[in-house]
Amino acid sequence: MAAAIENIMATQAVTQLEEVFRAHQVCVLKAAYRVTGSMADAEDVSQSVFLRLARGTFDSGRISNMESYLRRSAVNAALDLIRSKGDREVVPVETANQEQSISSVSPERAVSSLEIKNWLRQQLATLNPRAAEMFALRYLEGLDNPEIARTMGTSQAVVAVTLHRTRARLRKGFHAFRKGAS
């Protein structure tokens, strides 16, 4: 009898997980793509997010906002991936080709844009993980400060101060980057 109950509960958990996957897979993939800039890396990140969810004892009732939870997980996993790549190139060839094939953009501007995106991804990997996550949620995912505060379990003031300091650090680094690129 106990085995039958465990079987039923396991089946329900799998069904819940399938529903969550269907409902949120695109959101997770997009969040990962915006951070990594690579569809292949985004797919890997998406897969790892859902695998981690499946490995735990899945109960969607324990998570109050599934979309926020999964988006945050995707951003964190994508940042981890970027950090693990270190100094290796993080912008794939297919992205470079897509950007350079846009006829309304000059090749110089497309290369410059690609360099800036690559620089930003590298800088995100060097930030404090919490600051990088807040920055990604705000500027790559488009969440506002109250949403970030709720998602990360902190106050809006902490989010605002962290984002201000992060922008200042990135701005300073960007000026140095532009001088070096000139």
49-68 pLDDT, tens digit each: 999 888 876 566 677 888 88
Contact 135, 124 (CB under 8 A): yes
Domains of the chain in start order, with CATH, are 2-181 (1.20.140.160)
> In the structure, what pLDDT confidence band is assigned to residue 93 with cuts at 50, 70 and 90?
very low
Q: Is 5 exposed, middle or buried (0-12, 13-18, 19+ CB in 10 A)?
A: exposed
Tell me the pTM.
0.67
Residue 177: predicted pLDDT: 86
Tokens for 119?
Answer: 């620089």
Q: What is the mean pLDDT of residues 32-59?
A: 87
Residue 28 pLDDT exceeds 80: yes
Task: Share the mean pLDDT of the chain.
Answer: 81
Residue 95: predicted pLDDT: 44
Q: What is the mean pLDDT of residues 105-133?
A: 81
CB-based contacts of 175: which residues, under 8 Å, 6+ apart?
A: none
